[in-house]
Copies of this chain bind each other. A is one copy, B any other.
Amino acid sequence: MIKAAVLGATGYAGAELVRLLVGHPDVEIVYLASHSYAGKKFSDIYPGMRSVVDTVLSEDNIVKAADSADVVFLALPAGIASGSVTDEILKKAKVIDLGADFRLHDKAVYEKWYKTEHRGEGLLPEAVYGLPEIHRSEIAGARLVANPGCYTTCSILTLYPLLKNGLIETGMIVIDAASGVTGAGRGEKVTSLFCEVDETMKAYGVTTHRHTPEIEQELSIAAGFPVLVQFTPHLVPMNRGILSTCYAKLKNGAGEEDVAAAYAMYGGEKFIRIVPSPPETRYVKGSNTVDIGYSIDARTGNIVAMGAIDNLVKGAAGQAVQNMNILFSLDEAAGLDVASASTF
């Protein structure tokens, strides 16, 4: 049994991770911590887990976590992990960071977009961007995995094959995305109140959202040269789900067959389905699956490529488990669902 520790266990991503780890056949949770609720039972905060996870929560302490566990999951606000993960920690346990601190390879880019100091620059070179479908082999040997963001996972996987195969113009790539409200976290903010979110839709972070450089980093790798994207997230009145609708001009000569061939790179992936109609977030809810569909518009010469994930699963906790499975040479799908846990 792999011994796992979770810091930040009572945020939405952390709690989803607990749910998945509890159901994982090869994992035992040995350390469960929460800054806000230390001293309370996990099931006091998430009563759905009563009689299943009644563990009393510890204070977030990465040293204690690393002492007791084989793998430490961090589900913490931006800026904390960069100051607390050290070489010493990594000698004791693998670290999978669900936050943003080790995702961007360039410290300056991080500090520009996150407007906070990065205190762990020394570890940036070895941190691996934990998107298994793209970086599987590097993940396998890593000590520190930077688990990708939700919008980014969805958007990168949707566009990657097109850029990797040089099928689209890069002068104007639009990613218009939408998220359920769990993406905003469990903080006590007026903007997250039911009555402020229900029955309405809005864009936010227009031209400034922090997931932009992360998407650009990976798509630039795919393209082989720097690529910019116009990324706009929206908030939608639902708990879970991310939908990315991506637009680009197809290169002259690129057609249906080229596009199909490009997406065939995902043929062996357990968690990616290329679907014939536009993907829908409910069809991946609770699962670690990415549904991707696309349409080529002969009138305009554009391609519209769409991806859907559950932001808390493939966009956070599920992908973290997938990364753990890779790190420990388990079946990559252990403890994860392909089918939507909820059929509606």
* A-to-B contact residues, CB < 8 Å: 12, 15-16, 18-19, 22-23, 46-53, 171-172, 174, 176, 178, 180-182, 186, 188-190, 192-204, 206-207, 228-230, 232, 234, 236-241, 243, 245, 247, 249, 273, 275, 277-287, 291, 295-297, 299-300, 302, 304, 306, 308, 337-344
Question: Given that A278-B203, A285-B199, A304-B207 are contacting pairs, would A339 and B52 also be in contact in the complex, using a CB cutoff of 8 Å?
Answer: yes
Question: Given that A234-B243, A343-B48 are contacting pairs, would A190 and B188 also be in contact in the complex, using a CB cutoff of 8 Å?
Answer: yes
Question: Given that A22-B339, A283-B47, A338-B52 are contacting pairs, would A232 and B245 also be in contact in the complex, using a CB cutoff of 8 Å?
Answer: yes
* B339, A230: Cβ atoms closer than 8 Å: no
Shortest CB–CB separation between residue A234 and chain B, in angstroms? 7
* A241, B201: Cβ atoms closer than 8 Å: yes
Question: Given that A239-B344, A339-B49 are contacting pairs, would A200 and B286 also be in contact in the complex, using a CB cutoff of 8 Å?
Answer: no
Shortest CB–CB separation between residue A7 and chain B, in angstroms? 17
* B202, A48: Cβ atoms closer than 8 Å: no
- A228 and B47 CA atoms in complex are apart in Å by 33
* A282, B186: Cβ atoms closer than 8 Å: no
* B281, A202: Cβ atoms closer than 8 Å: yes
Shortest CB–CB separation between residue A322 and chain B, in angstroms? 17
* B342, A286: Cβ atoms closer than 8 Å: yes
- A278 and B22 CA atoms in complex are apart in Å by 25
* B201, A344: Cβ atoms closer than 8 Å: no
* B16, A343: Cβ atoms closer than 8 Å: yes
21 contacts between A and B (CB under 8 A): A23-B337, A47-B275, A48-B282, A49-B343, A50-B275, A50-B283, A172-B249, A174-B302, A178-B234, A180-B199, A188-B190, A192-B195, A198-B238, A199-B240, A201-B281, A202-B243, A228-B299, A230-B297, A230-B302, A230-B304, A236-B237
Across-interface contacts of A236 in B (CB, < 8 A): 178, 201, 236-237
